[in-house]
Amino acid sequence: MGKMATPATLSNHKPILLWFRRDLRLADNPALAAALAAASAQGKPVIPIFILDESSAESRPLGGASRWWLGKSLTELDHALKQRGTRLILRRGTTLPILRQLIADTGAVELHFNRRFDPSGLTIDREITAALAALGISVVDHDGNYLHEPTLLKTLQGQPFKVFTPFWRRLSDRYTPGFLQAAPRQWPASTLSIASDPLASLQFTRPWSKPFEDYWQPGEAGAHHALGTFAEDVAEDYATTRDRPDLAGTSRLSPHLAWGEISVHRAWTGADANAENGGGVQSFRRELGWRDFNMHVLYHFPALPQLAWQEPFRSFPFKLDKAGLKAWQRGATGYPLVDAGMRELWHTGWMHNRVRMIVASFLIKHQLIDWRDGEAWFWDTLVDADPAQNAGNWQWVAGCGFDAAPFFRIFNPMLQGEKFDPKGDYIRRWVPELAKLKTRELPAPWKLSAEQLAAADIVLGKDYPKPIVQHEAARARALTAYRQISGKGDDAQADLFTV
């Protein structure tokens, strides 16, 4: 019993599989810790694997920016494993046959992973668990990705939460930091030789993703570095600076959390390195709470990425406007703050949170374009794209989700610029053709005189687009459309297509 030494030749016969998914880290990883503990107790090797499965009908292919990040992150993980004497085994294809083959090739008897709750992931995991259990494999899943897994929190009536604030109250009342454990210093020795698909074969590059390297350090080390910077320099004032896209006022942890390069428990506890960070840390933890809430919502409403939660919105009179969608995607709406955000997204794979709300509101409410078109664009271009966060936040802005912003809350891009980019630094950075304008001239260049434009070397419609919609009219049109679906409108025949 117990820790009796086992000859290495025998031990290799029954390895333990450690299946990485969106938890690409060695520290604070319950599945990893359990696999290593079992291996150590039984003298077995541990084989770390990652499977890129885009085969199942319901699984959504990764977006381009996510692919770029994943390739980098897997490289980092493989590097960290090599430092410990092993390496990451990569496979691309359908999960179950790949696992079956690995088990047949290695004689593995045990599989560990951290639970996930997105619909396609859940489907695959249930299938795997049943199929491998039938083969006599011990499949062990772990709690490693959320503050509270979505299966744990229910209202007093036993229902899923539909409103964030009570959800958050319950979560933060009950929360105690979950699994935290330093990365292992070494890996169990193994003589197994297992083939791995080369990273390049997984096609992780996209033509436009090159500049991302200037802005990000994917991988576990980069994640911890980002948290350290946040705790030291940013967290204290986070409650206010997080709304300022012109400042480095956010954590920038979202892609690291999306790929699980850092544990959400580590982010929770690590944010208050300084005792003075109180208010900012509370505000940051609330954002982590939104991450849990969105997963909670997706778990209980799996159609979230495709279907409005609130039924009246399912018949919202969206416009089919390919040109308008393209203008939004390219950052050519003629509204400088909107365009700045869309260009930041394109160049860096990320957009400041407040600006995300503004550009999303603009697409849905000013342009009357389906929120799912925006969701799809973000899915392709965000390095932090996550099925729950992306869909949940788009439905929130559209006003059709759980606890959503009311539809009649329509952002005014000019006002938002004055409030949250008061010196115009953010607009000037991402829309450099407007850089010579005076700060008060920046939010609405179409209102400027010929002299003002000339002084800044701008020809409107040539150097920078004219606005594709007119704010006041677009706002009125959105409210009309909203009244129409909410049943409050007696003007159902109102012309929604002339702004």
Partner DNA sequence: TGAAATGTTGGGGCG
Partner DNA sequence: ACGCCCCAACATTTC
Chain residues that interact with DNA, rule: CB under 7 A: 164, 287, 290, 353-354, 357, 405-406, 408-412, 415-416, 419, 471-472, 475, 479, 483
Closer to DNA at the Cβ: 270 or 413? 413
Q: In the bound complex, what is the minimum distance in angstroms from residue 473's beta carbon to DNA?
A: 11
Nearer residue to DNA within complex by CB, 330 or 419: 419
Shortest Cβ distance from residue 400 to DNA (Å)?
Answer: 15
Phi, psi of 164 (to 5 degrees): -65, -45
Least distance between DNA and beta carbon 262 (Å) = 20
Residue 347 or residue 483: which is nearer to DNA going by CB?
483
Report the amino acid identity of residue 149: E
CA distance 22 to 260: 5
Question: Smallest distance, Å, CB 204 to DNA?
Answer: 31
* Complex with DNA: residue 202 or 357, whichever CB lies closer: 357
Task: Kindly state the smallest distance separating residue 286's Cβ from DNA, in Å.
Answer: 8
**Which residue lies nearer to DNA by CB, 457 or 472?**
472
Give the residue with the Cβ less far from DNA, 2 or 406: 406
Rank residues 111 and 363 by Cβ distance to DNA and give the closer one: 363
| 229 versus 486: smaller Cβ distance to DNA | 486
Q: How far is the CB of 110 from DNA (least distance, A)?
A: 40
Whose Cβ is closer to DNA: residue 154's or residue 483's? 483
Q: Please, what is the minimum distance in Å from the beta carbon of residue 497 to DNA?
A: 19
Shortest distance, position 401 Cβ to DNA, whole Å? 11
Sign of torsion, CA 444 447 452 453?
positive
Q: How far apart are the first and last CA of the chain?
A: 78
Closer Cβ to DNA, 215 or 408, answer by number: 408
CB nearer DNA, residue 332 or residue 444: 444
> What's the closest the beta carbon of residue 470 comes to DNA, in angstroms?
11
CA 127/CA 231 separation, integer angstroms: 41
- Nearest distance from C-beta of residue 327 to DNA, angstroms: 21
CB of 413 to DNA, least distance (A): 8
Token pair recorded at residue 355:
């600006």
Is residue 180 a contact partner of residue 26, using CB atoms and an 8 Å limit?
no
Q: How far is the CB of 166 from DNA (least distance, A)?
A: 13
229 C-beta neighbours (distance < 10 Å), count: 15
| Closer by beta carbon to DNA, 48 or else 280 | 280
Whether the CB-CB separation of 433 and 456 falls below 8 Å is answered with no
- Tell me if 352 sits within 8 A of 245, measured CB to CB: yes
The residue among 33 and 147 lying less far from DNA, judged by its C-beta, is 147
Three-state SS across the chain? CCCCCCCHHHHCCCCEEEEECCCCCCCCCHHHHHHHHHHHHHCCCEEEEEEECCCCCCCCCCCHHHHHHHHHHHHHHHHHHHCCCCCCEEEECCHHHHHHHHHHHHCCCEEEEECCCCHHHHHHHHHHHHHHHHCCCEEEEECCCCCCCCCCCCCCCCCCCCCHHHHHHHHHHHCCCCCCCCCCCCCCCCCCCCCCCCHHHHCCCCHHHHHHHHCCCCCHHHHHHHHHHHHHHHHHHHHHHCCCCCCCCCCCCHHHHHCCCCCHHHHHHHCCCCHHHHHHHHHHHHHHHHHHHHHHHHHHCCCCCCCCCCHHHHHCCCECCHHHHHHHHHCCCCCHHHHHHHHHHHHHCCCCHHHHHHHHHHHHHHCCECHHHHHHHHHHHCCCCCHHHHHHHHHHHHCCCCCCCCCCCCCCHHHHHHHHCCCCHHHHHHCHHHCCCCHHHCCCHHHCCHHHHHHCCCCECCCECCCCCCHHHHHHHHHHHHHHHHCCCCCCCCCCCCC
Q: How far is the CB of 407 from DNA (least distance, A)?
A: 9
Among 76, 372, 77, smallest CA distance to 380 is for 372
